Amino acid sequence: MLKYLIQKEFKQIARNSFIPKILIALPLMAILVFPWAANQEITHIQVAVVDKDHSTYSRRLTEKIAASTYFRLTVWTDTYENALSNVEAGKVDIILEFPSDFEKQLLTQNRAKVYIASNAVNTMKGGIGSGYMTSIIRDFADEIRTETLPVTYSHPSLSILNSQLFNPYGDYKIFMIPALLVMLLTIICGFLPALSIVSEKETGTIEQINVTPVKKTTFILSKLIPNWILGFIILTMYMLLAWLVYGLIPAGNLIAIYFIALIYIFVVSGLGLVLSNYSSTVQQAMFMMFFFMIIMILLSGLFTPIASMPDWAQTVTLFNPLRYFVEAMRMIYLKGSHIMDLGKQLLALSLFALFFCGWAVMSYRKTN
Amino acid sequence: MLEINTNIEKPYTPTPPLGGRGGVIETIDLTKCFGNFTAVDHISFSVEKGEIFGFLGANGAGKTTAMRMLCGLSKPTAGQGFVAGYDIARQPEQVKKNIGYMSQKFSLYEDLTVKENMRLFAGIYGVKENLILPKIDETLSKLGLTAEANTLVKKLPLGWKQKLSFSVAIFHEPQIVFLDEPTGGVDPITRRQFWKMIYEAAERGITVFVTTHYMDEAEYCRRVSIMVDGRIDALDTPANLRAQFHAENMDEVFTKLARKATRIES
């Protein structure tokens, strides 16, 4: 019985005018476009320099900052007000101001001040930008200290050696690739089932199914299994593309990735089917699915670290299946974790899968 | 009026008293309410095996609701119903094994071909795999649809769709087939062919439970019931009904009864 229903699902998917196209287009977009767009590295910070000193030292520091890839010096001016109006116009993120006695102070009193003002509207850019700039200025201070002080005179200094484990060049794209895979599977394997039962309600075909002796479990399985197979294909396609385009090969076991992804597909597909069962129109099912997707994605640690969420939000993430899948995929893909290290994630995802698939069977009504 | 080879029709024998256990469909005070609205109001009737039973009524009289209850698609609010010996409220899935259903709205898969639809439903009803294909070929040639076997159903004209729906509904040789306005919007020639198919199915022993708005079709039924405002107001052979209501044809019978309706057409 199941065989006939699964064949029917595949024929319908293949004959749909847009689903096969989306199935090809989304993984391509997810590899070629999204990692660049979902990049949170801060570069191109626009700087306005207010140089009231016009001295050698102020010029040297300005050049040092300009040499950094993070900053772009866009405005030179003599007054702070002028620079500020540029900030207001959105042209400048950070103002660097040298007071008129900068060099004099530095040479006579061995200490001088520069001012940094950052635009905190974009907190991330402002915060990280002023952080970068502070470290460049500190660097500069060390430089001139060694120049002006006798070589024999040594001063204690502390330097930090930073090593980025598992993603040695700190490439944000590599960090995002497993996460985007998670999103891709969530969208395709969540939305397709959400549409499936409700669209049969709209066309009326569900009536012809409901009047047959088909078992509820069989019918729900016939909706789940094609998704499972599609997910499998998309997963393979995505990993191949990640390797071809970025040379990224999962550090961990491929079987572990497939295994955990396939459990996860049951979770999202189950959720999709539950929503489809409760909706009476496709529109309704779509809205509900969007609602849950947005919540799930925002509370998953996909874009923002869970550790920096408030406590209550961190508690909420414990009930979000996406959270466990993101964790698991990053661990396997980047860290090369073994499936045995993922006990917590596996258990959580299996429970979610049972819960949603069970609910999908229960909420499917053949008799009203 | 359509011409039907009337010698297929069997002589009429009176049915057992209402509420008895002799019929293949039995209802006792079957009722369905939606909120305050009583769509089906205590209907009791019995349908014999192999009978063509016409289920008449104006739009909104409650025919489809009653039929959906008998098919196990809708739970009765009160009363009882037995189809093929199974309780429609407690054993709807058992009922479904023994019936075929053709809904008012075409509900086969439009994006599957004629053959694929037949194969799908044959498979769901558990028809043996090796029997499916020969039977599809046989049915298609009988329907004159062999050339359209691999055509997507959405491309078929309405009349062909209806014939296909009917064939799918009886493909697994059910005891009873429920037809909800099977000839709605269909041309006279196709209607005639359709009724021929219905007679053939009845010949094989399939009980036919059919709703219709065409009073000429009502004449082809062995017995008809007429529903008004959720209740069955008349139930007998067309000939007896004509006599009872001093009418020349079923059309007149129907008009006399339906005029009493107080319910707003929905």
Higher pLDDT, A183 or B258: A183
Q: Residue B10 has what pLDDT?
A: 44
Which residues does chain A have within 8 Å of residue B182's beta carbon, measured at their own beta carbons? none
Quick: pLDDT tens for A300-356: 988 888 888 899 999 999 999 999 999 999 888 888 888 888 899 999 999 999 999
Instruction: Summarize the confidence of residues B34-56 as an average pLDDT.
Output: 92
Cβ–Cβ gap B110/A367 under 8 Å: no
CA distance A217 to chain B (A): 13
Quick: pLDDT tens for A82-107: 888 888 888 888 888 888 888 888 88
Instruction: Summarize the confidence of residues A45-67 as an average pLDDT.
Output: 87
Q: How confident is the model at residue B16 (pLDDT cuts 50, 70, 90)?
A: very low
Residue of B nearest to A366 (CA): B73
Which residues does chain A have within 8 Å of residue B132's beta carbon, measured at their own beta carbons? none
Residue of A nearest to B97 (CA): A213
In a domain, B265, yes or no: no
Q: How confident is the model at residue A151 (pLDDT cuts 50, 70, 90)?
A: low
Tell me the CB-side half-sphere exposure of residue B145, using CA atoms within 13 A: 27
- In this complex, the residue of B96, B108, B119 whose CB is nearest that of residue A211 is B96
Question: CB-based contact (8 Å) between A3 and chain B?
Answer: yes
Which residues does chain A have within 8 Å of residue B105's beta carbon, measured at their own beta carbons? 204, 207
Is the confidence at residue A125, as pLDDT, over 80?
no
Instruction: Summarize the confidence of residues B155-180 as an average pLDDT.
Output: 93
Quick: pLDDT tens for A260-272: 999 999 999 999 9
Cβ–Cβ gap A8/B116 under 8 Å: yes
Cβ–Cβ gap B125/A3 under 8 Å: no
Quick: pLDDT tens for A2-50: 999 999 999 999 998 888 998 899 889 888 888 777 666 677 888 888 8
Question: CB-based contact (8 Å) between B22 and chain A?
Answer: no
How many beta-carbon contacts under 8 Å exist across A and B?
78
Note the ipTM here.
Answer: 0.87
CA distance A321 to chain B (A): 34
Cβ–Cβ gap B74/A368 under 8 Å: yes
- In this complex, the residue of A214, A366, A368 whose CB is nearest that of residue B124 is A214
Which residues does chain B have within 8 Å of residue A4's beta carbon, measured at their own beta carbons? 119-120, 123-124
Interface of A with B in 241-270 (CB under 8 A): none
Cβ–Cβ gap A8/B112 under 8 Å: yes
How many folded domains does chain B comprise? 1
Instruction: Give a three-class secondary structure readout of chain A.
Output: CHHHHHHHHHHHHHHCCCHHHHHHHHHHHHHHCHHHHCCCCCCCEEEEEEECCCCHHHHHHHHHHHHCCCEEEEEEECCHHHHHHHHHCCCCCEEEEECCCHHHHHHHHCCCCCEEEECCCCHHHHHHHHHHHHHHHHHHHHHHHHHHCCCCCCCCCCCCCCCCCCCCCCCHHHHHHHHHHHHHHHHHHHHHHHHHHHHHHHHCHHHHHHCCCCCHHHHHHHHHHHHHHHHHHHHHHHHHHHHHHHCCCCCCCHHHHHHHHHHHHHHHHHHHHHHHHHCCCHHHHHHHHHHHHHHHHHCCCCCCCHHHCCHHHHHHHCCCHHHHHHHHHHHHHHHCCCHHHHHHHHHHHHHHHHHHHHHHHHHCCCCC
Quick: pLDDT tens for B199-238: 999 999 999 999 988 888 899 999 999 998 999 988 999 9
Sorted by sequence, the CB contacts under 8 Å of residue A317 that are 6+ apart come out as A299, A300, A301, A306, A309, A323
Q: Residue A85 has what pLDDT?
A: 87
Instruction: Summarize the confidence of residues A120-140 as an average pLDDT.
Output: 81
In a domain, B35, yes or no: no
CA distance B117 to chain A (A): 9
Is the confidence at residue B14, as pLDDT, over 60?
no
In a domain, B213, yes or no: yes
Q: Residue A157 has what pLDDT?
A: 61
In a domain, B133, yes or no: yes
- In this complex, the residue of B74, B105, B119 whose CB is nearest that of residue A204 is B105
Which residues does chain B have within 8 Å of residue A211's beta carbon, measured at their own beta carbons? 71-73, 96, 99, 101, 103
Interface of A with B in 16-35 (CB under 8 A): 16
Which residues does chain B have within 8 Å of residue A205's beta carbon, measured at their own beta carbons? 107-109
Interface of B with A in 151-190 (CB under 8 A): 152, 168
Q: Residue B19 has what pLDDT?
A: 40
Least confident of A39-53, A62-76, A346-360, B54-68: A39-53
Question: CB-based contact (8 Å) between B87 and chain A?
Answer: no
Q: Residue B15 has what pLDDT?
A: 45
Which residues does chain A have within 8 Å of residue B112's beta carbon, measured at their own beta carbons? 8, 11-12
In a domain, B28, yes or no: no
Q: How confident is the model at residue A162 (pLDDT cuts 50, 70, 90)?
A: low
In a domain, B209, yes or no: yes
Quick: pLDDT tens for B80-127: 999 999 999 999 999 999 999 999 899 999 999 999 999 999 999 999
In a domain, B63, yes or no: yes
Percent of all residues in chain B with a pLDDT value above 70, rounded to a whole number: 91
Q: Which domain holds residue B163?
A: 48-71+95-258
Least confident of A136-145, B31-40, B47-56: A136-145
Q: How confident is the model at residue B12 (pLDDT cuts 50, 70, 90)?
A: very low
In a domain, B1, yes or no: no
- In this complex, the residue of A3, A203, A211 whose CB is nearest that of residue B110 is A203
Q: Residue A5 corresponds to which tokens in the numbers above?
A: 């229903």
Which CATH number is B132's domain given?
A: 3.40.50.300
- In this complex, the residue of A1, A12, A211 whose CB is nearest that of residue B71 is A211
Cβ–Cβ gap B73/A368 under 8 Å: yes
Q: How confident is the model at residue B7 (pLDDT cuts 50, 70, 90)?
A: very low
CB B108 within 8 A of CB A208: yes
Question: CB-based contact (8 Å) between B72 and chain A?
Answer: yes
Instruction: Summarize the confidence of residues A161-170 as an average pLDDT.
Output: 64
Q: Residue A101 has what pLDDT?
A: 86
Instruction: Summarize the confidence of residues A186-207 as an average pLDDT.
Output: 92
CA distance B76 to chain A (A): 9
Is the confidence at residue A160, as pLDDT, over 50?
yes
Quick: pLDDT tens for A239-268: 999 999 888 888 888 999 999 999 999 999
Is the confidence at residue A285, as pLDDT, over 80?
yes
Q: Residue A158 has what pLDDT?
A: 64
